[in-house]
Amino acid sequence: MPSTPQDNIENADLQWQESGAPYSTRFDDIYFSSGGGLDETEHVFLAGNQLQPRWSARDQALAATTAPSTEHFTIAELGFGTGLNFLCCWRAWQQLAPQHLRLHYIACEKYPLQIDALRQALLEWPELEALSEALLEVYPDHSAGFHRLHLPGLADAAAITLDLYYGDATQTLAAQAERSTARVDAWFLDGFAPRVNPKMWSEDLLAQIARLSRNGSTLSTYSVAGQVVRGLRSAGFEVEKVKGFGQKRQMLVGHYPQEARPPSPVGLPKRSWLNLAAQASRPPQVIVIGAGLAGCSTAHSLARKGYRVLVLEQADSIAAGASGNRQAVLQCRLSNALNGTRQFNLQAFLYATGEFARLNQDYPEVNWQACGVMNLDTAFSARKERCVDVDLSDYSPRIAQRLDQHATSEVAGLDVDGPSNYLSLGGWLSPAQLCHAYLAHPNIELRCNAKVQRLERDDHAWHVYAHDRELACAPTVVIANSISATQLEQSAPLPIVPIRGQVSYLQATASTANIAGVICGQSYISPALDGLHSVGASYSKNISDLALSEKEHQQNIEGIAPHLTKGAVNADAIAGGRVSVRATTGDRMPIVGPVPDFAAFETLYSALGQRERKHPNTHMPYVDGLYVSVGHGSHGLSNAPLCGEYLASIIANEMLPLQSKVLECIHPGRFFLRELKRRDYSR
């Protein structure tokens, strides 16, 4: 299947003007007017949307309430370009430093600048240097799709969330409006002039903007073209021309009226069964069940958004299950199927690399080693999923590269027996320490030896019980306890398959001590940590016996040793290992999102006619205030950070970090929907 622009990225085509400002040759237009610069951005976009007074008013109102605040203010920009508008906005946010409000900035961009071009463009603004550097540190220029980035709080201001939606603005916004009920507070319309880029002002796009606008949402743009004014009015906005910046006579400001009718959907999506429900406003307390990677990452994302989180763990310490190995490997599952699964795997991998680098700064014991991961062709040639068959031209070389045998050996630090697919951003860390770092947030309380056996809901909250003893209650609960989720009534129908996995700890030899990156064959071998490599991990359906198995030790070693320099591995030098049970799923994707009300859905679905079952005008019913993140298999390290952030975004009713085709792949109702569709309703 050929790549579509939506899947592969096209970077900006630039020329540099004499003034040093970037110019788009594709659109024959400027990114910003070099005469106006920062002052013009402040006038058109910041003042045009009255951002500072609105932030101050909201912050003061929130300060007056006693409850902890989870409120956020969302800005969406059409055309991220050089990020100048974003940086100015960030600077204004820093200066005001609201204490009770968070800032979420979303920008759509179809042709992102390459990072070197961005660096050069931003040289023009030395006054923004510190912010520009922080942006450049996390800026992705290499992959289409959504990128959620967390930018640090400098001075007194809180950290902010930046979502870059790479792809066509109309498509990405339409997909957001379909699935999510979150709405935008202010719009920066900055998509080149309508004369050269009519698509950024089309009726369809303006309708999506209206759909995603909160009542009272504002917008501004420098364009006063008749087409723009008419288009915005017909989408439901009230607009007026006001004084432009400097010599410019006019610009446009507008707002979506408080009393405006909700814009009608532009056609229901085919798979609207998998929409998310509108989020009721609930007190900001959440119970997370399970202190493995899935639970800890979710707790962290919620805490960062202002929620008070109680984490309940049945064991006497955190990361007691599959998340507790000495070393865990981060890599990306590559594929050429241009679908939501591939996009999820890539996005989750990239998000994880950013999170690990960020957390490692404050918690060096996380020991994040971005040493790279090699997948050897030779080792995979016998398997169905042959990494040698993946066409890496679908990926940026920043993500995946072909290395010949010599180059692989160089990077590996010892001789290997063939070429590889190399993920330079991959690596390993200590997963238990990562869990500790996640839970170190002051909004999180951890309670171990707390085995949840039953959940009951009353009108306001979930009550969580161990036998008949109530452990805690909260309006929202996240089930993140891996295979134990099937023991809770509400999540019991989730089709989780337990798989035993054993890691072997292998003493380093003089040769293997040189291993500098993770090498994957049928088994992987990590660089040594305190003289021991992790080699693994086995797959076995036999979960009745969780003792270490000599046979699985040997399988682990045989899966990698023959591909390394002869005699490098001393197969007799196994110094123990660890067995845990992974929770896997039939489609190898995790189960993350709101918990469906399976019984209500079955009743609803069975009563429908054939056409309505295919094209529903209703959504899957969910259990109120109950969410799940399980089924991560052996990919918990790459999945968990983004899945935690996704769940926290749903709970906080924020714009989501996942496109709709991606969230469908991890939706907790997908298996049940498939099962119902297969039933015979003709009788």
Residues in CB range of 372: below 8 A, 6 or more apart: 411, 422, 423, 424, 425, 426, 427, 517, 518
Site for ligand SAM contains 32 (CB under 6 A): yes
* Smallest distance, ligand SAM to C-beta of residue 22, A: 8
Closest by Cα among 637, 647, 648 to 348: 637
* Smallest distance, ligand SAM to C-beta of residue 112, A: 8
Work out which of 6, 9, 12, 329 binds ligand SAM, going by CB under 6 A. Answer: 12
Sheet of 462-466: strand order equals: 454-457, 462-466, 469-474
Work out which of 6, 85, 213, 345 binds ligand SAM, going by CB under 6 A. Answer: 85
Q: Of 112 and 657, which CB lies nearer to ligand SAM in the complex structure?
A: 112
Q: What's the CA gap between 359 and 62, in Å, rounded?
A: 29
* Smallest distance, ligand SAM to C-beta of residue 107, A: 8
> Interface with ligand SAM by CB under 6 A: which range of 77-85, 262-270, 575-583, 654-662?
77-85
Count Cβ atoms within 10 A of the Cβ of residue 262 and give its class: 0-12 exposed, 13-18 middle, 19 or more buried. exposed
SS3 state of residue 537: coil
Work out which of 31, 380, 422, 438 binds ligand SAM, going by CB under 6 A. Answer: 31
Q: Of 190 and 552, which CB lies nearer to ligand SAM in the complex structure?
A: 190
Work out which of 48, 79, 140, 536 binds ligand SAM, going by CB under 6 A. Answer: 79
* Smallest distance, ligand SAM to C-beta of residue 13, A: 9
Return the HEC string of 244-281.
Answer: CCCCCCEEEEEECCCCCCCCCCCCCCCCHHHCCCCCCC
How far is residue 658 CA from its own chain's centroid?
Answer: 6
Q: What's the CA gap between 421 and 388, in Å, rounded?
A: 7
Characterize 464-501 residue by residue with b for buried, 16 or more Cβ atoms within 10 angstroms of its Cβ, and e for exposed. Answer: bbeeeeebbbbbbbbbbbbbbbbebebbebbebeebbb
Q: Of 31 and 93, which CB lies nearer to ligand SAM in the complex structure?
A: 31
- Enumerate residues 91-110 that contact ligand SAM by CB under 6 A: 108-110
Sequence-ordered strand ranges (E) for 69-183: 72-78, 102-109, 145-151, 160-166
* Smallest distance, ligand SAM to C-beta of residue 202, A: 9
Angle between helices 203-211 and 169-179 in degrees, nearest 10: 30
Site for ligand SAM contains 84 (CB under 6 A): yes
Work out which of 144, 169, 219, 376 binds ligand SAM, going by CB under 6 A. Answer: 169
Work out which of 36, 81, 321, 596 binds ligand SAM, going by CB under 6 A. Answer: 81
Other CB atoms within 10 Å distance of the CB of residue 376: 27
User: Mind giving me the DSSP string for 21-53?
Assistant: -EEETTTTEESS-TTTHHHHHIIIIIITTTHHH
Site for ligand SAM contains 561 (CB under 6 A): no
SS3 state of residue 110: coil
Q: What's the CA gap between 113 and 16, in Å, rounded?
A: 13
Site for ligand SAM contains 43 (CB under 6 A): no
Q: Of 121 and 620, which CB lies nearer to ligand SAM in the complex structure?
A: 121
Site for ligand SAM contains 228 (CB under 6 A): no
Site for ligand SAM contains 376 (CB under 6 A): no
Work out which of 82, 94, 217, 335 binds ligand SAM, going by CB under 6 A. Answer: 82
Q: How many residues bind ligand SAM (CB under 6 A)?
A: 23
Query: Are the CB atoms for 574 and 505 separated by under 8 Å?
Result: yes
Site for ligand SAM contains 200 (CB under 6 A): yes
Site for ligand SAM contains 111 (CB under 6 A): yes
* Smallest distance, ligand SAM to C-beta of residue 113, A: 7
Q: Of 174 and 311, which CB lies nearer to ligand SAM in the complex structure?
A: 174
Site for ligand SAM contains 671 (CB under 6 A): no
Site for ligand SAM contains 125 (CB under 6 A): no
Q: What's the CA gap between 92 and 73, in Å, rounded?
A: 14
Instruction: Point out which residues bind ligand SAM (CB under 6 A).
Output: 12, 31-32, 77, 79-85, 108-111, 168-169, 190-192, 197, 199-200
